Amino acid sequence: MTLAAGVAALGLTLPAGAEAKLAAYLALLTKWNRSYNLTAIRDPAEMVTHHLLDSLAVITVLEKSALAERYPLRLVDVGSGAGLPGLVLAIARPDWEIVSVEAVEKKAAFQRQAKIELEIANAKIHCGRVEAFEERFDAAISRAFASLADFVQNAGHLADCLLAMKGIYPDGEIAALPAGWRVSACKELVVPGINAQRHLLQLERT
């Protein structure tokens, strides 16, 4: 699955130069990964599907959700790792403001370098624990960050809307949500090249 084919399959329209910038991001990630072990995925083709397309798959859902009324969106990516989905979303939607919060310095350093080299003007990188980060956003998003309960407890102060990217539908995690939060929407994501369940859960403060 090529990036261009995957973007087309997702029905996305990217701004001029975004596809080349996404490819450059992946090349930089591959380079850094040799020394810093930023991601367990090493195969370039798998990186396209499991990193880029998996991150891009949330865009259509967000643009059709109630969050669309708040455009341009201001999102915080919690536990962003190598910038997934945050930097990918920032490249694909340059009118959004994305803040990546990552506690591990080597991962934050990679993101800072990617921001500089790829000229991602709408992204900010913060190295530190999310619990100590004090800003407010339209929504907080996480990809494989923690359980839903931990996501709420660690990042609930950042936004009244939390977006959790998950694999199979997490019944047990939903049952363990802290009081004052509920699942307001759940969308099954179809990611080209990935033969596995993917879901985007929207949590809201009640």
For position 69, what pLDDT does the model report? 86
- Residue positions counted in the chain: 206
* Over residues 156-180, mean pLDDT: 97
- Average of per-residue pLDDT across 111-139: 97
Mean pLDDT of 39-56: 95
Q: Average model confidence (pLDDT) for the chain?
A: 96
Residues 83, 85: Cα–Cα separation, whole Å: 6
Question: What pLDDT, on the 0 to 100 scale, is given for residue 70?
Answer: 84
pLDDT at 86 over 90: yes
Would the pTM count as exceeding 0.85? yes
The full set of domains in the chain, from first to last, is 3-205 (3.40.50.150)
φ and ψ of 95, to 5 deg? -85, -15
Would you state the pLDDT for residue 206? 92
C-alpha distances (whole Å) from 185 to each of 75, 158, 162, 174, 204 are: 18, 19, 11, 12, 9
Residue 68 has pLDDT above 90, yes or no: no
Query: What pLDDT sits at residue 78?
Result: 98
Residue 60: pLDDT band by 50, 70, 90 thresholds? very high
Across the range 52-64, mean pLDDT stands at 96
Distance CA 36, CA 78 (A): 20
Higher pLDDT pick, 152 / 146:
152
The whole-number pLDDT of residue 100 equals 98
| Residue 71 in this model has a pLDDT that exceeds 90 | no
Confidence band, pLDDT 50/70/90 cuts, at residue 163: very high
